[in-house]
A and B are shown apart, each in its own frame.
Chain A
């Protein structure tokens, strides 16, 4: 039976006018198809039954519960929330009349565990004794099992309504707000946070006093969270801090934030983040991606009138210090907010007294210090390209993606960019690239005339392009950003831009160029003197050291790595970055032949970031290299295979990194006897490598050298010759110094190939040359040098010139 027919009939039946008898109608529609009739009518009946079915939770009754709550009796309904209902109540024991507020927690919150917590909290709350806080008188469990609190009953008006009704001036509003701060501060000193500060909970009494309600409810609700399923009304997101939106616990910093919103509204009549109903806003806030609008921009004529001023005058009033105070309370990063309510209060008092305030003016430079984006995943995790060699240096090339993602966090993507991206994505098939293209012209408008903003936006765009592997577009944006930052005197911005551009170059394999850029970045940072952020110094030092290591310039790399590591991890460094530093340092040690220490470092790196696949990849690559040094070819092969497979899975086959890793695997397969498969791999894959390789890359010699190894093992000397030559050529192009182990290796390979091709004399000469070159490399290559020397000796002694030495 076709479901569409059933559905259509069902729906049409519902549309029938009430008088019409659906049974007759349906019979007419279904004719002789009795099954169909039965199906549809059973659905209709089911619907009727459903509507009669008792809902699980009865709709909230507006009536007052007749039963007693301990010694109290509810006499009127004051309000109803998602988790509780508040009644006006009286003492029922006839002793004396006292009107109280009775707050009953919602039924589905109860349970023995919750009740226990409730009791504890209640005791705590009862200790609060402050004229501006409603006193908690009593509490208990009703007969029906619901916990309830008995509180001082207060007649009052919401603070914001009160202020607007009386058209209170800004100073008078501030005076009231200060009282609120005092009360909250008092509670904080008693280790109780409010958690749900909002105008609803702050009453202004007829005599102009203040009463705060609902202290500690936020904490209680946290307890409730564990015991409920869904749909528990927690707190008003409108006044919630970003960390709270993310599900974090209630802290004093959260209260500061809520107070900030309250203050903003008292001053401007508007919500700082635009449309409170917008879900995108809430998400942005939760992701630390929303900026509070400068108070001056939020003023309307009505709001000004409610404050006894014209819009113009209100704006003037709100400029400067007052603005700074509010915005400091609204910092999305809790560590940048006022540390305590007291600090906020004091700054306000300073303002009222005409004294300078502590709130710093929000410059972009200042904002740039915030990088915590805990909930963002990297665009795609970078995998350290750790290519292992038989007897040469560890070439650790960082595929820049994670690092780039880090750097892209440096300046928050503006709300504009985000919005544009989201809206663009709603239009059918579109790639991120297309969206960015669409976004660019819109952004031009956004930054009109403000170099600092333009710089930030371009930096962001540039970083996005880098992560999308659009190096030319990235470069264009980043270069412009750099100029603008320098014009604006924002040296940190300049440094970050250079860092990202360095990543960009690194992705292209232009390692030497990237090092130059990083060094410039450090210079820019140095202009900030003591103010230079340690985080970026760390990163730049690490990148320089790491990149030099990539180029096998270990002597040079060492001081940079040491500089990065010596000062201890600065704040804001991710675990994976520290792990990266460990791996680098370990590689350095390994190159010096200190294999045990190197392994310690690798293990340390894994401990720092245990479940991080990027780090795991880095360590694996480094271990492959060490295995190579030590001639443990089976281990190297197995690790390399894993490396290759991971890369295929994660990056796919069309990536440079994958090609190189797979070539490494092939190399070790050949070394351990799997010659045929290795050969196939090289023959299939190397052409692909060429196609996708960027001509300017610094390390094309890597896969070429591997290929040469494999060819030699398979006795394909002509091909080995070709690959080895290419490797040398690539190495030359890259301008690597003479003691580059790759060069030694490629030289060795070429020599062997020539010998295999019966071109003995030049072949031999090259082998000697290779030996000499190895000798100039670090201790890790001494094994290679020895092996080579031994082979030469054997070879020279051999009378048989028909075969090359068997490697």
Chain B
């Protein structure tokens, strides 16, 4: 993906476009911020604590604080930033999966890593990540909120509470959306084989 150092004003401009409802600006943002976030991600991504949140939200806060320092940034709500970061994390993981598989010799055993305790049937180090990425895209087209819930919960590691807060829905909604999304994704991904 093309990535370059973000010119500071660009991020602001894209943010306000995004705030004004231009969805494509989000892609632009993701592209621009990618390198920066990847650097942060590499630092945070490797750590795990009792709660995933520490690593993930920290990353997002970093992004948030960076963007907030843009002059007169119109900050609509934190959700935008979290959603962005979740997207980027997802991309990072998908890219990683792609790379790792390109390098592997056929037949080598690779070390499988569950994406999350709740989605333990997906190997985060495996090719399924690419399929998952794709499937999520499809889900997003059908039901955006569920897809975002998945991103926030599994790619960003937010707790259900945090996810609810970010998406401005109730905790129950998050739980239910997750159930739905997981089933949908599972069906989609096992259908492929």
| Most chain A CB neighbours (cut-off 10 Å) among B12, B54, B75, B100 | B75
Contact check: which of A286, A375, A376, A380 meets B12 at CB < 8 Å?
Answer: A380
From A280, which residue of chain B is reached at the shortest CB distance? Answer: B61
A676 to B190, CA, bound (A): 65
Binary per-residue interface labels of chain B (50-72) against chain A in the complex, 1 for a CB within 8 Å, 0 otherwise: 01111001100110111011111
B121 touches A11 (CB 8 A): no
**Contact (Cβ within 8 A) B73 A431:** yes
Contact pattern, A 404-441, Cβ under 8 Å of B = 1, otherwise 0: 00000000000000000110011011111100000000
A431 touching B9 in the complex, CB below 8 Å, given contacts A50-B121, A56-B114, A57-B114:
no
Task: Decide yes or no whether A44 CB sits under 8 A from chain B.
Answer: yes
- Chain B 145-160 residues near chain A, CB threshold 8 A: 146
CB–CB A425/B111 < 8 A: no
Q: Contact: B179 with A14, CB < 8 Å? A: yes
Q: Is residue A126 contacting chain B, with contact meaning CB distance below 8 A? A: no
A430 and B187 form a contact (CB under 8 A): no
Q: Contacts A55-B114, A230-B93, A650-B7 given; indicate if A49 touches B124 (C-beta within 8 A).
A: no
**Chain B: how many interface residues by the 8 Å CB criterion?**
66
B71→A279 contact, CB < 8 A: no
For residue A234, CB closer than 8 A to chain B, the reply is: yes
Answer yes or no: B43 CB below 8 A from chain A CBs: yes
Given A234-B46, A468-B72; A651-B96 close (CB under 8 Å) = no
Residues of A within 8 Å of B46, CB to CB, are: 225, 228, 230, 232, 234, 247
B78 touches A426 (CB 8 A): yes
Contact (Cβ within 8 A) A47 B9: no
How far does the Cβ of B35 sit from chain A's closest Cβ, in whole Å? 11
Q: How far is the CA of A234 from the CA of B46 in the complex (A)?
A: 7
Report whether B72 and A55 are in contact in the complex, using a CB–CB cutoff of 8 Å. Answer: no
Q: How far is the CA of A48 from the CA of B2 in the complex (A)?
A: 41
Q: Are B10 and A650 in contact (CB under 8 A)?
A: yes
When A237-B49, A650-B9 are in contact, do A54 and B73 touch as well, CB less than 8 Å? no
Q: Which residue in B43, B78, B93, B179 is a CB contact (below 8 Å) of A229? A: B93
A230 to B58, CA, bound (A): 15
What residues on B are CB-neighbors of A237 within 8 Å?
A: 47, 49, 54
The verdict on A82 contacting chain B, using a C-beta distance below 8 Å, is yes
Nearest Cβ distance between residue B45 and chain A, in whole angstroms? Answer: 6
Indicate whether A321 reaches chain B with its CB closer than 8 angstroms: no
Given contacts A425-B68, A649-B7, contact A231 B53 (CB under 8 A): no
A282 on the interface (CB 8 Å rule)?
A: yes
Q: How far is the CA of A744 from the CA of B21 in the complex (A)?
A: 52
Q: How far is the CA of A107 from the CA of B100 in the complex (A)?
A: 18
Within 8 A of B (CB), among A265-304: 277, 279-280, 282-283, 286-287
Residue A108 lies at the interface, judged by CB distance under 8 Å to chain B = yes
Number of A-B pairs, beta carbon distance below 8 Å: 189
A614's closest neighbor in chain B, by CB?
Answer: B8
* A762 interfacial by beta-carbon distance below 8 Å: no
Q: Are A468 and B183 in contact (CB under 8 A)?
A: no
Determine whether the beta carbon of B111 is less than 8 Å from that of A108.
yes
* CB pair B111 A279 closer than 8 Å: no
Interface residues of A in 194-231 (CB under 8 A from B): 225, 227-231
A381 contacts chain B at the CB level, 8 A cutoff: yes
- Contact B183–A47 (Cβ < 8 Å): yes
Say yes or no: B70 contacts A380, CB within 8 Å. Answer: yes
Chain A min CB distance to B126 (Å): 8
A43 touches B180 (CB 8 A): yes
Can you list, as one digit per residue, whether each of A424-468 has a CB less than 8 Å from chain B (1) or not (0)? 011011111100000000000000000000000000000000011
By beta carbon, the residue of chain A nearest B155 is A230
Q: When the two chains form the complex, which single residue of A4, A14, A235, A378 contacts B8, counting CB atoms closer than 8 Å?
A: A378
Check A379 for interface membership: any CB of B closer than 8 A: yes
User: Does A469 sit within 8 A of B, measured CB to CB?
Assistant: yes
Tell me if A62 counts as interface (CB < 8 A to partner B).
no
Interface residues in A355-393 by Cβ distance below 8 A to B read 375-381
Smallest CB gap from B62: residue in A: A283
> Given known contacts A47-B183, A279-B61, is B75 in contact with A379 (CB within 8 Å)?
no
Q: State how many angstroms separate the Cβ of B100 from the closest Cβ of chain A.
A: 8
Residue of B nearest to A244 (CB): B43
Q: Are A377 and B43 in contact (CB under 8 A)?
A: no
Tell me, yes or no, whether A111 is within 8 Å of chain B by CB: yes
For A54, list chain B residues within 8 Å (CB).
121
Contact of A282 with B58 in the complex, beta carbons under 8 Å: yes
Which residues in B have their C-beta under 8 angstroms from that of A56?
Answer: 112-114, 120-123
Task: State whether A613 and B5 are in contact (beta carbons under 8 Å apart), knowing that A225-B46, A247-B42 are contacts in the complex.
Answer: yes
A245: Cβ under 8 A from any B Cβ: yes
Inter-chain contact A651/B9, CB cutoff 8 Å: yes
The answer, yes or no, to whether A3 is at the interface (CB within 8 Å) is yes
Provide the bound-state CA to CA distance between A381 and B42, in Å: 25
Q: Which of B8, B53, B187 contacts A46 (CB 8 A)?
A: B187
Scoring A235, A287, A380, A652 by chain B CB atoms within 10 A of each residue's CB, the highest score goes to: A380
Task: Give B81's nearest chain A residue, CB to CB.
Answer: A425
Check A57/B183 contact, CB under 8 A, given A379-B70, A380-B12: no
- Among residues of B, the one whose C-beta sits closest to the C-beta of A248 is B43
A277–B57 Cα distance when bound, in Å, is 12
Mark each residue of chain B from 129 to 156: 1 if its CB lies under 8 Å from any CB of chain A, else 0: 0000000000000110010000000000
A181 sits at the interface (CB 8 A): no
Q: Are B8 and A380 in contact (CB under 8 A)?
A: yes
> What is the CA–CA distance of A651 and B54 in the complex, to the nearest angstrom?
35
| Cross-chain contact of B72 among A11, A49, A432, A649 (Cβ < 8 A) | A432
A110 to B110, CA, bound (A): 9
Q: Which residues of A contact B112 (CB under 8 A)?
A: 56-57, 108
Distance in angstroms between the alpha carbons of A547 and B144 in the assembled complex? 53
**Does A246 make an interface contact (CB < 8 A)?**
yes
A151, B61: Cα distance in complex, Å:
41
What residues of chain A lie closer than 8 Å to B42, measured between beta carbons? Answer: 247
Question: CB distance A7 to B71 under 8 Å?
Answer: no
- Residues of B contacting A111 in the complex (Cβ-Cβ under 8 angstroms): 111
Task: Determine if A316 is an interface residue (Cβ-Cβ < 8 Å).
Answer: no
Q: Nearest Cβ distance between residue A422 and chain B, in whole angstroms?
A: 8
User: Please, how many angstroms separate the alpha-carbon atoms of A133 and B150 in the complex?
Assistant: 45
In whole angstroms, how far apart are the Cα atoms of A287 and B43 in the complex?
12
- Extra contacts besides A234-B48, A379-B69, A425-B75 (14): CB < 8 Å: A55-B121, A227-B111, A230-B124, A231-B124, A232-B48, A233-B48, A283-B62, A377-B8, A380-B12, A381-B7, A425-B78, A428-B77, A429-B76, A652-B13
- Residues on A lying within 8 angstroms of B by beta carbon are 3-4, 7, 10-11, 14, 42-44, 46-47, 49-50, 53-57, 82, 107-111, 225, 227-237, 245-247, 277, 279-280, 282-283, 286-287, 375-381, 421-422, 425-426, 428-433, 467-469, 611, 613, 649-652
Of all A-B residue pairs in the complex, the 7 with the closest CB atoms, nearest first, are A247-B43, A55-B120, A46-B187, A108-B111, A380-B8, A47-B183, A650-B9
User: Which B residues lie at the A interface, using CB under 8 A?
Assistant: 5, 7-10, 12-13, 36, 40, 42-49, 51-54, 57-58, 61-62, 64-66, 68-78, 93, 96, 100, 111-115, 120-125, 142-143, 146, 176-177, 179-180, 182-184, 186-187, 190
Could you list 22 A-B pairs, sorted by A, with CB under 8 Å? A7-B176, A7-B177, A14-B179, A42-B187, A50-B182, A54-B121, A56-B112, A229-B113, A230-B45, A230-B124, A231-B52, A232-B48, A235-B47, A280-B61, A282-B58, A283-B61, A379-B69, A379-B70, A381-B8, A426-B78, A432-B73, A652-B13
